[in-house]
Structure 1
Amino acid sequence: MVSSASARNPLWHPFADMGAVDGDRLVITRGEGSYVWDDEGKRYFDATASLWYANFGHGREEIAQAVADQLRTLDSYNLFGYNANEPALKLAERVSALAPEPGSKVFFGSGGGDVIDTAVKIARSYFAHTGRPEKVHVIGRVQGYHGTHGFGTAVGGIAANAAGFGPLPGDISHVPYDSAEALEAEILRVGPERVAAFFCEPVIGAGGVLLPPDGYIETVAGICRKHDVLFVADCVIAAFGRLGTWFGIDRWTVKPDMITTAKGITGGTIPLGALIVAPRVAEPFFTGAPGAPVLRHGATYAGHPVACAAGNATLDIYERDGLIPRGRELEKPLADALSGLASHPLVKEVRAGLGFLGAVELKADVVAANPGAANRLQRLARDEGVLVRNLAKGIAVSPPLIAGETELDLLATALPRALDKLA
């Protein structure tokens, strides 16, 4: 299933066993709507929205036009110092207006990893500039995923992702993903006077599509407020309709101190991330007073005009086509489509019902007997015309928000067949 041109190619893939990948690539050549095609012309339902981000599918002419127009007008310029560009100014205003906290500021990056590291640095810098420089400790959750930059790798709670790289940034610890009590105990253990921030995905994505227990989000947000710890909602996956709201975290009545976004902000068309910072956290950096602190941080392509033009066109699509509520409207149909898999002899658990994403976890003895079982299941689903995400212990789906009954029916028939072949 691979063209000879890609065999033994020097391209190094992220998160890949290159000895196995080399010469066995799936070369995607075209995308339209909820489907993509490989270099042999086979069509696949993109049941992962590529990497959780193709929220409105593929091949949107509006994005191509916005990008082309911007390239002809201003192809690039940085945002450092006094510099700005119109697409970045416009997108920042639009994102800020949607934020839970009126008056929030928006700091752009090239993707989710950028804004995660930005959030850690802003959290520590905020306390340093408000007279509490000892508040540097950051708490993450076991199985949490926060990208692969330095701080993100350390704050993330997937052990395999942090192994083999030597010492990572310090003053970071982890708590069970489903226990608010464990969070408060860890804050007290470290000392509230030392803890700067808690990072929380509303629904853990790459760590297994783990849904929060009832009341968890509200409780941890309250614990953070109680101990003056910044509550950082990592909504890189959850935002822009995936959970049926603009940012995902706004399904709950909480007001995070920072919200990380990326992926769906351009539908994945061009790399872009946006960190939303609540007014009280941003305030020390916006006083205009002589000697006011300067955040000496930023990515070369932060607020790139072409990326922001794609972002503005993306928000237009979400608004015009009414796509943001789709994540909530489709959560039950997706859960229903996957529900029949729960009784399969290889399946431990099906997780779905909160947003348009779900996971099928294999039984522990299946994975123990064949550590490559999830990878094999992914390949078998591909043979059935469906692209799913390998999560080591099972597979995940997060279809485009434009998917409908036809695509969910395809999932409901293709995945049982793949599991039967795996068995």
Structure 2
Amino acid sequence: MPSKFLHGFTPPAADDFITIVRAEGCTLWDDQGKRYLDALASLWYCQVGHGRAEIIDAVADQMRRLDAYQTFAPFTNEPAEELASMVVERSPHPDGRVFFCGSGSEAVDSALKIARAVHQLEGDTDRQVIIRRTDAYHGTNFGGTTAQGIAGNREGWGDLVPHFIEVPRDDIEAVSTTMAANEGRVAAVITEPLQGAGGVYPPTDGYLEGLRRLCDQHGALLILDEVICGFGRTGEWFGAQHYGVTPDLMTFAKGVTSGYQPVGGVIASRAVCDVLEQPGYTLRTGYTYAGHPACMAAGVANLALMEKEELVQRVPHLAEKLTEGLAALQADGIIQSYRGAGAVYAAELGYDAAAARMRLLDAGVVLRPVGTGLAMCPPLVITDHEIGILFDTMADVLSKEQA
């Protein structure tokens, strides 16, 4: 009989789970004593690795001083103010502001609401259309479920949010045509800089720049969903900087605390803030745990640790080692191809990757199936030796998979 815990993205009748009881660095242990190499950083987020006392102690110290308190007016707290400053200082919007929440899904819904609110405040009340891309993943709240381009994740819930239009993943002409056909009605375009859960697809050359140009031309806002790309994953603090495109709104979560505490948020540009800050306006959205002091302390400690250990600057080295391993697998005919950037890649198998993932788990390596590919997104502290273990294991397991 299944346990009382109803797991997400899991058949509800499932009753066979691996119980993880301990983690350190890039290594996990289950309740049977088996070791696993965490080559997915849990779920695309553990940048600094597991078991870092610097973050654990910061959270504990904060909870001894102030365990929790809300941040609706007129209240705030010091770690929330500090983390907001640290985030915007590392973003393309150092003069912007941060809206905090508890997850990437909440961040996406908040960004969609803020985008529409900006147009409403400017008197463009017909601007409610959001353009989404095929293969996009934007979380699982109602707005993000509607915004994502993975059809299976949108099905089975009944009617979703209106006014969303999907365009093919890399077709900038389709975006141009859609905007022209909906002139004066498009509130925003939402996209990941590099699509993650939908398959790890980097943008084609000029695509993000084209989105920026079209948004400017048609008066729409550009939202970059940085939940996976943010906080060093691409080799810059944010994917926006890696690809040289500045959005109006940015969502983040995951890597901001390396997952040690749940934090998400939206970075708003100064131009967006100028609209929101008009006299008499109240931003009537928010979350009970937004700016939670213990969560904020985790973020402050995590970003400080990333700075101290120069983990963002380490990503080009990781990219070199990861692509070397992937190229070797491709040259040996073990995988068909690979794609990605920085420290996030997918190995294309050409067949359903779910069974391969399970065989890799049996061999002690955690990857994630994304359709016909296997995604890897290791902690940024992964060693060259551990990368060697990753590819040796993949070569052994996937060779048998093909036999």
Deviation of 1:150 after TM superposition, in Å, equals: 0.6
Contact 2:193 2:243 in 1 (8 A): no
For residues 353-407 of structure 1, the C-alpha deviation after alignment (integer angstroms, 9 at most, x for no partner) is x1101112232xx44xxxxxx2211111112211001223221110000112112
Q: Is the contact made by 1:241 and 1:326 (CA closer than 8 Å) also made in structure 2?
A: no
After superposition, residues 223-234 of structure 1 pair within 5 angstroms as 223-234=214-225
Q: Give 1:83-102 correspondences, 5 Å limit.
A: 83-102=75-94
Amino acid corresponding to residue 12 of structure 2 in structure 1: M
CA separation of 1:328/1:220 partners in 2, compared to 1, >3 Å: closer, same or farther? farther
Matched, 1:379 2:358: yes
Q: Distance in 1 between matches of 2:356 and 2:94?
A: 45
Contact kept? 2:25, 2:51, Cα under 8 Å: yes
- Equivalent residue in structure 2 for 1:321, among 289, 298, 309: 309
Q: Percent identity?
A: 40
Task: After superposition, give the CA deviation of every residue in 1:213-245 in whole Å (9 maximum; x if it has no partner).
Answer: 122222211111111110111110001110011
AA paired with 2:372? K
Q: Does 1:204 align with 2:198?
A: no
Report the Cα distance in structure 2 between the residues aligned to 1:60 and 1:177, rounded to whole angstroms: 38
Query: Is 1:235 aligned with 2:226?
Result: yes
The equivalent position to 2:349 in structure 1, one of 340, 362, 365, is 362
CA distance in 2: counterparts of 1:90 and 1:210, whole angstroms = 34
State the Cα distance separating 1:346 from its structure 2 match: 6.9
Number of residue equivalences: 402
Describe how 1:141-290 pairs up with structure 2 within 5 A: 141-191=133-183, 193-287=184-278, 289=279
Provide TM-score, normalisation by structure 1.
Answer: 0.92
CA RMSD of superposed structures (Å): 1.4
SS in structure 2 of the partner of residue 275 of structure 1: strand
SS of equivalent to 1:299: coil
Secondary structure in structure 1 of the residue aligned to 2:312? coil
Contiguous gaps of at least 5 residues in structure 2: none
In the TM superposition, residue 297 of structure 1 has moved relative to its aligned partner by 0.4
Q: Is the 8 A contact 2:231 2:237 kept in 1?
A: yes
Q: Contact (CA 8 Å) 1:341, 1:350: kept in 2 or not?
A: no
Q: In 2, Cα distance between the equivalents of 1:420 and 1:252?
A: 35
Report Cα offsets for 1:192-222 as digits up to 9, x if no partner.
x000001111110000001111222222111
Contact 1:359 1:397 in 2 (8 A): yes
More RCO (CA 8 Å, sep 6+): 2
Gaps of 5+ in 1: 1-6, 368-373
Aligned residue number for residue 325 of structure 2: 337
CA–CA separation in structure 2 for the residues paired with 1:34 and 1:146:
26
Alignment of structure 1 residues 36-185 onto 2, 5 Å? 36-185=28-177
Q: Give the match's secondary structure for 2:100.
A: strand
Displacement after TM superposition at 1:284 (Å): 2.3
Q: CA–CA distance in 2 between the matches of 1:342 and 1:298? A: 47
In structure 2, C-alpha distance between the alignment counterparts of 1:226 and 1:328, rounded to whole Å: 35
- Give the match's secondary structure for 1:260: strand
Q: Equivalents in 2 of 1:338, 1:385: separation in Å?
A: 18
Indicate the residue corresponding to 1:3 in structure 2: none
Deviations, residues 16-74 of structure 1 (Å, cap 9, x unaligned) = 1233x30x211111110111111111111100000000011100001111011111111
Paired with 2:77 and 2:270, the residues of 1 have a C-alpha distance of: 23
Q: Which digits, 9 at most, give the CA deviation of each residue in 1:321-343, with x for residues without a partner?
A: 10112223321211111123335
Stretch moving more, 221-230 or 108-117: 221-230
* Structure 1, 214-223 or 203-212: larger mean CA deviation: 214-223
How much does 1:348 deviate? Answer: 3.9
The 1-side partners of 2:138 and 2:342 are apart by 19
Question: Is the 2:92–2:240 Cα contact (8 Å) retained in structure 1?
Answer: no
1:14 paired with 2:8, answer: yes
TM normalised by structure 2 equals 0.97
Q: Is the 8 A contact 1:91 1:311 kept in 2?
A: yes
Q: 1:280 and 1:205, CA in 2 relative to 1: closer, same or farther beyond 3 A? A: same
**2:29 aligned counterpart, secondary structure:** strand
1:392 to 2:371 alignment: yes
**C-alpha contact 1:120 1:151 (8 A) present in aligned 2:** yes
* C-alpha spacing 1:346/1:188, structure 2 compared with 1 (3 Å): farther
**TM-superposed deviation, 1:344:** 6.1
**Mapped partners of 1:171, 1:124: distance in 2:** 11
8 Å contact kept, 1:244–1:329? no
What is the CA-CA distance between 1:306 and the residue it aligns to? 0.5
Distance 1:194 1:348 in 2: 42
Rounded to whole Å, the distance in 1 between the matches of 2:169 and 2:90 is: 28
Displacement of 1:187: 1.0
Deviation, structure 1 residue 347: 4.0
Distance (whole Å) between structure 1 residues aligned to residue 48 and residue 162 of structure 2 = 39
Rounded to whole Å, the distance in 1 between the matches of 2:12 and 2:25 is 30
